[in-house]
Amino acid sequence: MTADDVRRTDDEGMAAWDAHDPDRFVALLGEGFQFKDTSLPEPLTTADQVKEYMRSWFTAFPDMRVATTNRVISDDSVAAEVEFTGTQTGPLNAGGQEIPPTGKAVRSTGTYFARVEDGKISSFSAHPDSMGLMAQLGLMG
């Protein structure tokens, strides 16, 4: 693979998130993938788990938009900073708790690291700014 191949895979993944299309995103996952998020107790290892994870974000923030703000790409990996905006008009599942809709608009950031093998994502590790998000939602001082 080349850095251009990795870039295309990453672009497609970000486009799937921005389009609220879990099926499109999981189609990019390779066999035996691991999807980690620092807010989750365990890695996600099935397509259905990843779809449900994504749907929970889209339920909480139906107007969610995501964009890459910085990215470093190699022949088999990508590291990126992202920003998302949205208004929490639906329940948010976070840390095993359901947070009722706050109606608050947020602009939040995060990073992720992904490894791409044979054109498919073999590992994905998300690091959202959970504390900043919670503060914007008025859930902490």
Q: Are 84 and 65 in contact (CB under 8 A)?
A: yes
Residue 31 has which token pair? 């066999």
Query: What is the domain count for the chain?
Result: 1
pLDDT-based confidence at 141, cuts 50/70/90? low
Range of the domain at 45: 3-136
Q: What is the pTM of this model?
A: 0.92
Structure tokens at 33: 């993938």
Q: What is the mean pLDDT of residues 111-116?
A: 97
pLDDT of 42 reads: 93
Whether 98 maps to a domain, the answer reads yes
Q: What distance in Å separates the CA atoms of residue 61 and residue 89, rounded to the nearest whole number? A: 6
pLDDT band at 95 (very low <50, low <70, confident <90, very high): low
pLDDT at 74: 97
The answer to the question of residue 11 being in a domain is yes
CATH number of the domain encompassing residue 101: 3.10.450.50
Contact 102, 140 (CB under 8 A): no
Q: Where are the alpha helices (DSSP H) in 19-140?
A: 22-26, 47-60, 130-136
Res. 103 pLDDT band, cuts 50 70 90 = very high
Q: Report the percent of the chain where pLDDT is more than 90.
A: 89
Decide the pairing of beta strands 29-37 and 120-128.
parallel
Residue 56 maps to a domain: yes
The model's pLDDT over 38-47, given as tens digits with 9 standing for 90+, comes to 988 899 999 9
